[in-house]
Amino acid sequence: MTTFATTDPTLRRLFERLDFAPQPKDEALSWLFDYWKDKRSGRVAPKLQEVAVPDLGEAAGNGFILQLDPQANAPVLMFGGAAFENLMGACDPGVIVLAKAPRRRGAVRLRRLSGLVQRCAEPVLAEFEAYAADHHRVRVEIVLAPLSGDGKTVDGLFGGLALRPIHAERPASAWTPLPAQAADNQPLLFALKSATDLGERIAHHMGQSLQPHEERDFEDGEHKTRPLVDVRRRDVQVIAGLHGGAGQSVNDRLCRLLFLVGTLKDAGAARVTVVAPYLCYARKDRQTKPYDPITTRYIGQLFEAVGADCLVTMEVHNLAAFQNAFRCNTTHLDAYLAFSRHVAAIAGNTSLAVVSPDIGGAKRAELFRQVLEEHLGRPVSKGLADKQRSMGRVSGDLFAGDVSGCTAVILDDLISTGTTMARVAGQCRDHGAKRVIVAATHGVGGPVALANLTQPAIDTVLLANTIPQTPDFVAALSDRLTILDVSDVFAQTLSDRARHPGSFPMTQSGSGAHR
């Protein structure tokens, strides 16, 4: 079980990987950990006296024993100075490691890791890159396990440390050489099958090709996904659809994406950026009934747990809940400029009003109204409908705003069944709207929404291509439907991130050419 979902940002900066279920790659560390497990014998931790140095044999050069000084609240080296020499400089037994270590960053890492093991009373594996004493870059793997004299509190630490030169970590020849266009420092761009079309469009705008990968299904429903190029020390960007369809549920696609992110991190990727145009499970962002789940937060914890460094998405249901749920870097996009361009083209000189279908979406509608007003250079009215949803039933008849004689644009983040849109479209007509356009970034419902979207009160349906629509859905709506391509919005964001990592805006509007 990875611990990154429960660690603070300081630990995340010091280590590339932390794991409470250690499986060391180094043979000596693996032996040391097995030795500790044997001594543990089902207890919280073995005693310091039970760990015998002569038992360690050839692994002794990698091992160390620390005793926690209750006065200084710091580890004192009891055995294993040789293991630390390359990481922290020469350390003598009986010395408080942190106070006397010549190389402070290595000492700080040990202090942070020691504190984590002391709090959790569980062994932990950590990986990171550092400079050795000879100034060569090395990959460090360290296992740290608790020791306990009374069986309740951690008063000592047992562990091992291994260094591997970076140049010795070249992958086996089974890796496919990188294509010429990816041989420089450009991020590697992958698109899962759930987002092939949008991924190809994004890659085209970025002047790149999608990297090869394997998605394999097993007979019992399990699966695996892996990159077919070397991703070590590279920035990787993964585009994935998290909507249901084509024989795969939302859960199937979420699980595939999470496993791939974990795979990329295990394969040595420096950073992994997830591009999820539609973020699943974002509609349940707070408890409205006793014992309700808060799935937005759970999704954030899952992505953090597998090691995602950044999530890029478009038009989540509740922006504030989204930003609070994720502790990794996030970028939130919208398609307002793309929608405003198309609305302006079909509305001509007629008066326009932007209508929110419920109170929760009022801020979204207002932001779009401002973009539309700026694009047109003239005032745009606004309206608001009331809606209550409980047990799958929608109610509420309140409507505020002047839409008489206007082209009313009803804006929402997604369309599921279309019930809300059809209901508000009827209210707009009742209040004198000459034309009604319903616009949403994500067409989640597909054919399920056809009965409502084909109501005579609706003239035009605008969707972004974050979710591909079935041919039956497109054919049924015919000329009523326009799908806007927003791939250039994602491409621009990913390109900016590649040029200026960490300095791009958290929320931004995008432009998209319609088709």
Residues 300 and 319 in one domain: yes
Rounding to the nearest 10 degrees, give the CA dihedral for residues 352, 353, 357, 363. Answer: 120
**What is the pLDDT of the chain when averaged over all its residues?**
84
How far is residue 65 from each of residues 53, 60, 73, 205, 395, measured CA to CA in Å? 9, 10, 16, 55, 67
Q: Are 430 and 454 in contact (CB under 8 A)?
A: no
* Domain endpoint, select from 169, 201, 233: 169
Closest CA to 443 of 222, 273, 245, 299: 245
Tell me the pTM.
Answer: 0.65
Query: Which pLDDT belongs to residue 293?
Result: 92
Place of tokens 């002569």: 54
Query: Which pLDDT belongs to residue 95?
Result: 57
User: Can you state the angle between helices 362-376 and 336-347, rounded to 10 degrees?
Assistant: 60
Q: How many CB atoms lie within 10 A of CB 438?
A: 30
Residue 148 per-residue DSSP state = -
**DSSP alpha helices (H): ranges in 307-350?**
319-325, 336-347
Mind listing the pLDDT tens digit for each residue in 440-471? 999 998 899 999 999 999 999 999 999 999 98
Greater pLDDT, 506 or 38: 38
61 inside domain: yes
477 inside domain: yes
Lowest mean pLDDT: which of 144-158, 349-363, 372-386? 144-158
Mind listing the pLDDT tens digit for each residue in 284-321? 888 888 999 999 999 999 999 999 999 999 999 999 89
Tell me if residue 314 falls in helix, strand or coil. Answer: strand
Domain coverage including residue 363: 336-485
* Domain endpoint, select from 169, 198, 229: 169
Residues 452 and 418 in one domain: yes
Q: Give the DSSP per-residue string, 120-144.
A: H-S-EEEEEEEE-TTS-EEEEEEEE
Which amino acid is located at 300 in the chain? G
90 inside domain: yes
Alpha-carbon gap, residue 275 to 467, rounded angstroms: 13
Alpha-carbon gap, residue 263 to 274, rounded angstroms: 13
Query: Which pLDDT belongs to residue 18?
Result: 81
Query: Which pLDDT belongs to residue 177?
Result: 45
Tokens of 498: 């590649």
What is the band of 347 on the pLDDT scale with cuts at 50, 70, 90? confident
Residues 365 and 495 in one domain: no
How far is residue 423 from each of residues 46, 456, 458, measured CA to CA in Å? 67, 11, 10
What is the band of 171 on the pLDDT scale with cuts at 50, 70, 90? very low
Greater pLDDT, 388 or 150: 150
Residues 187 and 289 in one domain: yes
Q: Is the pLDDT of residue 88 over 90?
A: no
Residues 320 and 366 in one domain: no
Q: Is the pLDDT of residue 276 over 60?
A: yes
* Domain endpoint, select from 123, 149, 169: 169
513 inside domain: no
User: For the chain, what percent of residues have pLDDT higher than 70?
Assistant: 83
What is the band of 137 on the pLDDT scale with cuts at 50, 70, 90? confident
Q: What is the mean pLDDT of residues 422-443?
A: 95
Q: What is the CATH number of the domain that holds 91?
A: 3.30.450.20
515 inside domain: no
Q: What is the CATH number of the domain that holds 287?
A: 3.40.50.2020
Residues 186 and 164 in one domain: no
Residues 54 and 69 in one domain: yes
Residues 294 and 406 in one domain: no
Residues 357 and 212 in one domain: no
Q: Is the pLDDT of residue 129 over 90?
A: no
Q: What is the mean pLDDT of residues 104-110?
A: 75
Mind listing the pLDDT tens digit for each residue in 183-205? 457 899 999 999 999 999 999 99
Residues 232 and 303 in one domain: yes
Q: Is the pLDDT of residue 483 over 80?
A: yes
514 inside domain: no
Query: Which pLDDT belongs to residue 183?
Result: 45
Mind listing the pLDDT tens digit for each residue in 4-23? 555 666 676 778 778 777 88
Q: Is the pLDDT of residue 338 over 60?
A: yes
354 inside domain: yes
Residues 380 and 329 in one domain: no
Lowest mean pLDDT: which of 217-221, 278-282, 322-326, 496-500? 496-500
Alpha-carbon gap, residue 27 to 493, rounded angstroms: 43
What is the band of 170 on the pLDDT scale with cuts at 50, 70, 90? very low
Q: Would strands 399-401 and 393-395 be described as parallel, antiparallel, or unpaired? A: unpaired
Residues 150 and 262 in one domain: no
Structurally, how many domains does the chain consist of? Answer: 3
Query: Which pLDDT belongs to residue 438?
Result: 97
What is the band of 48 on the pLDDT scale with cuts at 50, 70, 90? confident
Listed in sequence order, the residues at least 6 apart from 490 whose beta carbon sits closer than 8 Å to its beta carbon are 198, 202, 239, 275, 277, 312, 314, 333, 510
Residue 475 per-residue DSSP state = H
E-strand ranges in 244-397 read 271-276, 310-314, 329-334, 352-356, 381-385, 388-390, 393-395
Mind listing the pLDDT tens digit for each residue in 362-402? 999 999 999 999 999 999 999 999 866 655 565 567 899 99
Q: Would strands 460-464 and 481-484 be described as parallel, antiparallel, or unpaired? A: parallel
Query: Which pLDDT belongs to residue 128?
Result: 84
233 inside domain: yes
How far is residue 194 from each of residues 190, 222, 239, 242, measured CA to CA in Å? 11, 17, 9, 8
